[in-house]
Amino acid sequence: MPITNRRFLLSSLIVALIAGLLFTPGLPGAFVFDDIPNIVNNQTLQITQLDADSLAKVAFSPQPSGNMRMLPTLSFALDYWRGGGMDPAVFKTTNIVIHALTAFALAWFFLNLLLISGVPGARARWVAPALAMAWAAHPLQVSSVLYVVQRMQTMGTLFLVLALWAYLKARQAQIEGRSGRTGLLCAALLWVVAMGCKEDSVLLPAYTLALELTVLRFAAASPRLASRLRRGYLIAALAGAAAYVIVVIPHYWQWDVYPGRDFSTWERLLTQARVLCMYLWQILVPLPQHMPFYYDGLQPSRGLLQPWTTLPAIALLLALLGVAWRLRTRWPLFALGVFLFFSAHFITSNVVGLELAFEHRNNFALIGAVLAVGSLLAHASLRMRVRPAMQATLCVALMIALGSATMLRAHTWRSSLALERTSTQLAPNSARAWYLLCADYVESGGGAVRANPLLDQAIETCGTGATAAPYALSNLAMLVVLKTIRGDVTPHDWDRLQQRMQTMRMTVDNRGVFLLLMTNARNGVKLDKHELLKALETEVQRGQLEPFNLASIGYFIKDVLAEPDLAIPYFVQAIKAAPPKDPLPQQLGAELRTEGRPDLAETIEQVGLARRVTADASRNGNP
């Protein structure tokens, strides 16, 4: 290995080491938010022995996050086995290692990118690790690395970077007159692996197109190959655009609000302009106070001027894209960075009804942002004739600043209580932050019992959250539960909850309130039966619940509240909404007969029979 490559190998290893160490203040940390359903409560991951059968069961079992994310799911199971249980530090350590590996691979990708762009070798060998370090040390990465479930994103980024590196090497070979087939095959295989981590890895062709439009320019030693590249990408782009217009938009477009959301497709698209500008602000001014982690308090744009920042945000993004397009030949690295950033957000900022904002969506997009900003700084230093020693000094100072901000933010992830306290300060309108802080107080004090020394603090927190986030139900519902435990719940508390349930949009979080109330009642909290029944009725009327949830409410009323007659309407709704061959009518009928209620059993069985008869008639074409 040449000495220059050995030196670069050492520098890239140092980048990887530092990239990992920056996040260690977040250890041991805790599982948070989506970690709970996807990892902590996911019994499929809890393997006790490492064999082919156990791993196959994990790989091919249905998963809460989706069945395409096989590789991260397998790694979660391995962490469970390796740690002997759900040890957050073990899981987070794996995330840190993945981040360090990505930083290492990114340094080599940047080196090849800079060299093929015409940057002198000596300069490229220190700029490439600097760019990789800027990506790895950015505080926006904290919620990707220390938020365990986002391994799906970070692992996908690792294989995407490797795929782009392989593609770049293959295209370099083609420019020099060699076939490049091995590199293209490696890129394709790595793309498949990335797709097994997260679905948005499908965007790899958009990233390679960005490379061709800027740095590579569809060049090849063979004119025939260059022509085939141009035609191939043109056909692929037209086919993708046609599929988007003909298939994707009709499938996902909602003129009314998405199910479980409080915004339509049009409102989501308008809002994403503000969200992307927010991401750019966080990237350019990476202060931890600009990154609250929870964004459920972000209000959708209802029009071009509602809020007024919507239209300027759209104009800014269009101007940025326009400038990048015009400069794609003069400043190819800047244009490439802009195109990568926007391409990375194409799915998450589009018509699919996802949540409006999440920081981890920038894990790959930050590569483009770092490249664009680095290119601008390089051009500025050349124009201002900044000496290399001063450039190096400023670069080191920037890395120290980024690393310090990252370590400071990682420190807030050292425990769930520290994270939620910080989140309520940075996002005072976030219902999730207040609710989770309240729940942390309850758990830290010994659970939902009257003797909990932190009960008063939890109640005060939920009360503050209920006022700060008037769009949400979770804090009000928890307030009713905790005040019931303390013994001073009032009719006004229930009325306030009922009124909000009748008027608030039933988002995913709001629809889950019935589970919160039912779970606490099952655990012995003496909630007022009349008020609880009233709340469940309102939830069913407005929540558009699935048959399983309707049946759960029915069983809760029958078994926990001991009101089987009042439970029947919920069972009837569940049966009518369920598939015709659902076994609920027979099972429930048998249970009711065993419990001495043959009259109710007959009612349920008749509803099930009618459901099957109607379905058979519909299949046979009879009215």
In a domain, 39, yes or no: no
How do residues 387-420 score in pLDDT, each as one tens digit?
888 988 999 999 999 999 999 999 999 999 999 9
How do residues 426-435 score in pLDDT, each as one tens digit?
999 999 999 9
Q: Classify 21 as helix, strand or coil.
A: helix
Residue 621 confidence (pLDDT) above 70: no
Residues 309 and 435 placed together within one structural domain of the fold? no
What number is the average pLDDT over the span 327-341?
A: 97
- DSSP-assigned states of every residue in 116-169: HTT--HHHHHHHHHHHHHHHHH-GGGHHHHSSGGGHHHHHHHHHHHHHHHHHHH
* pTM: predicted TM-score of the whole model, two decimal places: 0.93
In a domain, 45, yes or no: no
Question: With bands split at pLDDT 50, 70 and 90, how would you rate the model's confidence at 288?
Answer: confident
With a CB cutoff of 8 Å and minimum separation 6, the contacts of 478 are 435, 438, 439, 462, 516
In a domain, 228, yes or no: no
Furthest-apart CA atoms within the chain: distance in Å: 91
How do residues 446-494 score in pLDDT, each as one tens digit?
999 999 999 999 999 999 999 999 999 999 999 999 999 999 999 999 9
User: Left if phi > 0, otherwise alpha if psi is -120 to 50, otherwise beta: which for 75?
Assistant: alpha
Choice among 127-131, 334-338, 560-564, 615-619 with the minimum mean pLDDT: 615-619
What number is the average pLDDT over the span 60-64?
A: 82
Q: Where among 355, 382, 411 does a domain terminate?
A: 411
Question: With bands split at pLDDT 50, 70 and 90, how would you rate the model's confidence at 68?
Answer: confident
How do residues 72-118 score in pLDDT, each as one tens digit?
999 999 999 999 999 999 999 999 999 999 999 999 999 999 999 99
In a domain, 46, yes or no: no
With a CB cutoff of 8 Å and minimum separation 6, the contacts of 302 are 267, 270
pLDDT at 388 (0 to 100): 85
What residues make up the domain containing 403?
3-31+86-221+253-411
Residues 340 and 387 placed together within one structural domain of the fold? yes
Instruction: Please give the torsion angle defined by the CA atoms of residues 138, 143, 145 and 147, in that order, rounded to the nearest 10 degrees.
Output: 170
Residues 575 and 507 placed together within one structural domain of the fold? no
Q: Classify 306 as helix, strand or coil.
A: strand
In a domain, 111, yes or no: yes
What number is the average pLDDT over the span 252-262?
A: 92
Helix ranges, 384-528 (H): 388-411, 416-426, 431-444, 455-468, 474-486, 491-503, 508-511, 513-522
In a domain, 423, yes or no: no
Residue 617 confidence (pLDDT) above 90: no
Question: How far does the chain reach from its first CA to its final CA, in angstroms?
Answer: 78
Residues 463 and 365 placed together within one structural domain of the fold? no
> Mutual orientation of helices 529-543 and 547-555 as an angle, nearest 10°?
170
Residues 593 and 505 placed together within one structural domain of the fold? no
Residues 538 and 578 placed together within one structural domain of the fold? no
Residues 159 and 193 placed together within one structural domain of the fold? yes
Residue 615 confidence (pLDDT) above 90: no
Please count the other Cβ atoms lying within 10 Å of the Cβ belonging to residue 294: 25
Residues 209 and 320 placed together within one structural domain of the fold? yes
Residues 208 and 160 placed together within one structural domain of the fold? yes
CB 412 within 8 A of CB 25: no
Closest CA to 289 of 433, 423, 407, 465: 423
Q: Where among 544, 562, 592 does a domain terminate?
A: 544
Q: Which percentage of the chain shows pLDDT scores above 70?
A: 98
- DSSP-assigned states of every residue in 500-526: HHHHS---HHHHTHHHHHHHHHHTT--
Residues 442 and 360 placed together within one structural domain of the fold? no
Residue 622 confidence (pLDDT) above 70: no
Alpha-carbon distance 140 to 107, whole Å?
A: 19
Q: Where among 347, 376, 411 does a domain terminate?
A: 411
The dihedral sign for the CA sequence 64, 69, 70, 73:
negative
Closest CA to 475 of 312, 303, 297, 316: 297
With a CB cutoff of 8 Å and minimum separation 6, the contacts of 91 are 31, 39, 76, 79, 83, 148, 151
Mean pLDDT of the chain: 93
User: Left if phi > 0, otherwise alpha if psi is -120 to 50, otherwise beta: which for 621?
Assistant: left
Q: Beta partners for 303?
A: 306
Work out how many domains the chain is built from and give that number.
Answer: 3
Q: Return the H-helix or E-strand segment holding 288.
A: none
Alpha-carbon distance 398 to 387, whole Å?
A: 16
Question: With bands split at pLDDT 50, 70 and 90, how would you rate the model's confidence at 260?
Answer: confident
Residues 533 and 567 placed together within one structural domain of the fold? no
Residues 503 and 576 placed together within one structural domain of the fold? no
Residue 1 confidence (pLDDT) above 60: no
CATH number of the domain to which 481 belongs: 1.25.40
In a domain, 621, yes or no: yes
pLDDT at 620 (0 to 100): 62
In a domain, 167, yes or no: yes
What number is the average pLDDT over the span 47-51?
A: 90
